[in-house]
Structure formats: C-alpha cells, structure tokens
Amino acid sequence: MKQQIDHAGLFTPQASKIALSCGLFGLSLLYGPITGLVILSFSVQPLSGIPWPLTIRWYQALADKHEWIQPLVTSTGVGLIVALFSTVSALLIGRTIVVLRKPMGMLAIYLGIMIVPGILIGISILMFYRVLLGIPTGVWSIILAHYIWSLPFALICILIVSYRFDRRLVEAAEDLGASRWRRFVDIEIPLLMPGISASLFFSFLLSFNELPRTLYTRGSIVTLPYYIWTASASHGPQAALVYALSSLLALASLGVTIVATRTLSRAYGR
C-alpha cells in the first residue's frame, strides 16, 4: 500500500508543474541559442548581438558568394557514403546480435565507442594513416572517422526494430519453401524499414555536422562544418554570413531530425 501511495504521489499537480517547468527549462537551453542565431541572421550587425534593425542582406550575400558550395557538396557526399556504410553494417550486426544468447558483451563493444572523445578518434586515425601506413589523410580518412562515430547510433536504430521482430514469420516462410534471400527481402526488410530509414537519417546528420573528428583527418579537404568554424573564427565580413548559413543548416537539420524521429516511432506503432 505504501508503494502505491508513493507512486501516486509522483503525479500530484505540484509535481507535474515542477516536471513541466524542468522540461521547459531544458527546451529553452536546447533551442534558445538556435533561435537567437536565426534572429541575429536578420540583423544588420549580427556580431554585435543586437537583433535590430532587421535585414535580409546576409541571405542575399550568401546567394552571391559561392565559397560555401564546395564544402556543402563535400559534406553531403561524405554524409551519404557514411549513412550507407553505417546502415548496412548496423543491419548485419543487428540481425546477428538479436539471435545471440548473451548479446550484452558484443553490444557493449559496439556502443562503447560512443563515449570515446571525438578528438581522440581523430588523432588515432591520423596516426594510423599517416604515421603507421604512410597514407595521406583526405576524404576516406574523414569517412572512416565519421563511420566510427555514426555506427553505434545506426546500430541502436536497427536494434530497436530488430528486438520487436517476430522471427516466427521468417520460420513460416522457410517452411513454405522461401529461400533465404526471399525471406530477407520480402519479410525482414519491410519490417525493419523504420529502423533502416532512421539509421540513414541519423547517420547522415551525424556525419554532415561533424567537426572534432574531421579536424585531424581532413588533410586538405574542407567540409562545411570546418568552413563555418574557420569563417566564424575570423571575425571578418564572412563571419556575418555564417549566421545566415548556420540558420539554414540548423533549420534543415531540425526538419530531417523530425522526419527521422517520426519514422523511427513507427517501430513502436505510435
């Protein structure tokens, strides 16, 4: 009885108000800086931090300047490759983990890389490529670093739907004479598609917005986050353009994240 009373006490009106206040405070910390960035992108002097008077001159200047286009193309291409590699790997690993009797050990190995600092990963790849193998860093070293970063998140997306997968459907198809390939294409892929789609979305975003691991593995390649970082640190005319460019990227990333989240929620039937 005491446990029931204590449990019910968690949902008192006062506790609900406190929880709501904490939630709103957390959201303000998450989206407050982004909102401020978007507002300042319309300011005549965004570097001053004063959002008035308003103008669209920085967006017009952004359309006239093309220095950011090549970094955008590079980041997009790298993100697509990383998303594909991460999702395929996660799909193969996830389908194996769910049938193991004791999957926690292998799962810890794959997910443990999430807590390793990004700078440490970048330095390790730099040392491995340039010092041990003598291979110049560049696009493929960036792809490797981003792949290491995005694979655990892709695996989580796949595992969410894999553990809800009813393997009796595959066994029934096998009894009916379906080959392993047909079982995989006709049964497993459609049921795993929410996780696959979410894995592609999140892997792409993680790669597209990645900077710390890129700093040590890029060689002479300039990605969009690196371009924005160097432009914002210059405190010159380009720094004002960063506000407009960053605002567009933030809104685009938020839109893709919403789509990915809604896609993943289908795995729960919500």
pLDDT value of residue 4? 47
Distance between CA atoms of 43 and 182, rounded to whole angstroms? 58
% of the chain at pLDDT higher than 90: 15
Kindly state the average pLDDT of the residues 201-228. 89
pLDDT value of residue 25? 86
pLDDT value of residue 229? 86
pLDDT value of residue 34? 80
- Which domains does the chain possess? 58-268 (1.10.3720.10)
137 contacts 220 by C-beta, under 8 angstroms: no
Say yes or no to pLDDT of 162 above 70: yes
- pLDDT (tens digit per residue) in 247-266: 888 888 788 777 767 766 66
DSSP character string of 49-106: T---SB--HHHHHHHH--TTHHHHHHHHHHHHHHHHHHHHHHHHHHHHHTT-SS-HHH
pLDDT value of residue 1? 42
pLDDT value of residue 23? 86
- The helix/strand/coil state of 263 is helix
Question: Is the pTM of the predicted complex or chain greater than 0.75?
Answer: yes
- pLDDT (tens digit per residue) in 67-95: 888 999 999 999 999 999 999 999 988 88
Kindly state the average pLDDT of the residues 105-117. 79
